[in-house]
């Protein structure tokens, strides 16, 4: 009887998704539906709620490591679940990257933010990432140059110049994340950006922007008139 109940519930959710997409769904309901594919013929609602209680948002659930998820010992959650989440999270990053590649020519800060958010926005430690572009703003590649502490990154100009030369870049976009959730730049952020811009000027490499990333917001030096 219980199995039929779950089967009927799953059928209703699937029909609703096919008809209206995810409109009107709460995060736990979306996660519940995702768990259908790794927790078979059992209720997934409680597992979904337990995951959200621990990690707060759907994005963070999908981005969390296998070891951290399995350490919670939530009933029904297995290694297959973690593989499923990683696949979805990596697919999300890939799609944002493709969108970014197409829209960077239009100087879309929003598209850049979406890509960087999926790439570094949910990390618990601060990292510094550079996007390398050609003279006509064609995407050449990107790299995380430095891993910092939770509130500080050490930036070495020599390493940045080396990467710029490797890509033969004519423009760059700097970015780093603020795990605190506050996107406002610190005085050190402002001074570091000014210093790096000055170093790259003799190489005729333009700094198009420096974007500070958080899970919910961003701060663009370009939009704020700092660059």
Give 171's strand partners.
133, 206
* Closest CA relative to residue 219, chosen from 117, 124, 125, 127: 117
**pTM, rounded to two decimals:** 0.67
Edge-first strand order for the sheet with 206-213 is 139-147, 127-133, 171-177, 206-213, 218-220
Tell me the backbone φ, ψ of residue 185, rounded to 5 degrees: -70, 145
Asked if residues 205 and 164 have their Cβ atoms less than 8 Å apart, the reply is: yes
What is the C-alpha separation between 109 and 112, in angstroms, rounded? 5
Q: How large a percentage of the chain has pLDDT more than 90?
A: 57
pLDDT tens by residue, 12-43? 988 989 988 988 899 999 999 999 999 988 89
pLDDT tens by residue, 42-94? 899 999 999 999 999 998 899 899 999 999 999 999 999 999 999 998 998 88
Q: How confident is the model at residue 218 (pLDDT cuts 50, 70, 90)?
A: very high
Residue 150 has pLDDT above 50, yes or no: no
Tell me the average pLDDT of the chain: 88
Q: How confident is the model at residue 138 (pLDDT cuts 50, 70, 90)?
A: confident
Mean pLDDT in residue range 173-184: 94
């Amino acid at each position: 009887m219980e199995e039929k109940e779950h089967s009927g519930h799953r059928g209703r959710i699937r029909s609703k998704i096919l008809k209206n997409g995810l409109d009107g769904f709460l995060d736990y309901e979306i996660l519940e539906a995702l768990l259908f594919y790794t927790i078979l013929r059992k209720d997934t609602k409680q597992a979904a709620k337990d995951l959200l209680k621990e990690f707060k948002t759907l994005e963070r659930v999908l981005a969390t490591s296998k070891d951290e998820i399995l350490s919670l010992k939530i009933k029904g959650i297995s290694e297959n679940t973690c593989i499923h989440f990683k696949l979805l999270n990596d697919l999300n990053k890939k799609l944002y990257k493709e969108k970014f590649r197409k829209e960077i020519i239009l100087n879309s800060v929003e598209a850049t933010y979406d890509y960087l958010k999926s790439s570094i926005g949910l990390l618990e430690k601060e990292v510094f990432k550079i996007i390398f572009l050609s003279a006509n703003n064609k995407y050449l590649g990107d790299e995380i140059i430095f891993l910092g502490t939770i509130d500080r990154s050490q930036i070495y100009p020599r390493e940045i110049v080396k990467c710029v030369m490797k890509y033969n870049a004519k423009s760059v976009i700097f970015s780093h994340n603020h795990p605190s959730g506050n996107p406002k730049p610190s005085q050190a952020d402002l001074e570091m950006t000014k210093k790096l811009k000055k170093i790259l000027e003799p190489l005729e490499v333009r700094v198009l922007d420096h974007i500070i990333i958080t899970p919910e917001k961003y701060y663009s030096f370009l939009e704020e008139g700092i660059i």
